[in-house]
């Protein structure tokens, strides 16, 4: 794939690939040095985990795209109104509804809300898509009443041992996974671009 980054956009009903070139090195964007290659993710960026920029202009309600950051799949999900409504409907079945016990990355303070998202685009979920049980990649998002293990909640399902997460990546009670999906630091560069691994305080 070279330095081009392929982003996988899918939802529970349809899957397609958008092969697009993402200018991943934020440093390259900021400095605008005169070498085109410097505007693409460098080997150092890939290995060291430099921030990665994502173009979300094509992301429609119900869509999910995956961006690689530090070798981890980071999901960006544009939630539907129904999925948003599900987040505050009933939190009694969640193990850690307020995300007080993060997994590997501290919860960014600006995401300490039921949406686990920045308020300027609270419909957009940004989480690390790795199950906190043994590291499988969950499937989804699924609408309500499609996956029996999720019942009438929309969310994500880990096929390895059955853990389920709501549409904010919060794990349900009595599942093998002990923690919610991690939220990385991120910030918006515009309404159509965000950067993962960096916020107003600097790089993660
Ligand atoms: S790895 Fe996901 S439930 Fe075990």
Q: Which domain holds residue 144?
A: 6-203
Query: How many domains would you assign to the chain?
Result: 1
Confidence bin at 198 (pLDDT 50/70/90): very high
CATH of the domain at 114: 2.102.10.10
Q: Which residue's CA is the closest to the ligand 1 atom numbered 3?
A: 161
The answer to whether residue 133 scores a pLDDT higher than 70 is yes
ipTM value > 0.95: yes
Of the candidates 167, 135, 169, 138, the residue with the CA atom closest to the CA atom of residue 153: 167
The answer to whether residue 27 scores a pLDDT higher than 50 is no
Best mutation site among 95, 103, 163 for ligand 1, i.e. most ligand atoms within 8 A of its Cβ?
163
User: What residue ranges line ligand 1, CB within 6 angstroms?
Assistant: 131, 133-136, 158, 160-163, 176-177
Give the whole-angstrom CA distance, residue 165 versus residue 175: 10
Say whether 161 is catalytic: yes
DSSP assignment letter at 11? -
In a domain, 36, yes or no: yes
Best mutation site among 73, 134, 137 for ligand 1, i.e. most ligand atoms within 8 A of its Cβ?
134
In a domain, 141, yes or no: yes
Give the whole-angstrom CA distance, residue 19 versus residue 81: 28
Mean pLDDT of 74-97: 94
């Amino acid at each position: 794939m070279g330095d081009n980054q392929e982003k996988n956009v899918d939802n529970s009903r349809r899957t397609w690939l958008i092969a697009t070139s993402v200018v991943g090195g934020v440093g390259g964007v900021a400095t605008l040095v005169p070498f085109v290659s410097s505007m693409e993710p460098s080997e150092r960026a890939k290995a060291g985990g430099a921030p990665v920029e994502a173009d979300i202009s094509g992301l429609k309600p119900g869509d999910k795209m995956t961006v690689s950051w530090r070798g981890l799949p980071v999901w960006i999900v544009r939630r539907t109104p129904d999925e948003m409504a599900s987040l505050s409907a009933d939190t009694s079945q969640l193990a850690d509804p307020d995300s007080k016990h993060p997994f590997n990355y501290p919860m960014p303070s600006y995401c300490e809300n039921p949406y686990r998202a920045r308020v300027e685009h609270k419909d957009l979920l940004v989480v690390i898509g790795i199950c906190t049980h043994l590291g499988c990649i969950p499937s989804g998002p699924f609408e309500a009443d499609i996956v029996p293990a999720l019942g009438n909640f929309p969310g994500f399902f880990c096929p390895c041992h059955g853990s389920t997460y709501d549409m904010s990546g919060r794990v349900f009670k009595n599942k093998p996974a002990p923690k919610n999906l991690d939220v990385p630091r991120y910030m918006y560069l515009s309404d159509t671009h965000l950067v993962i691994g960096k916020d107003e305080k600097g790089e993660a």
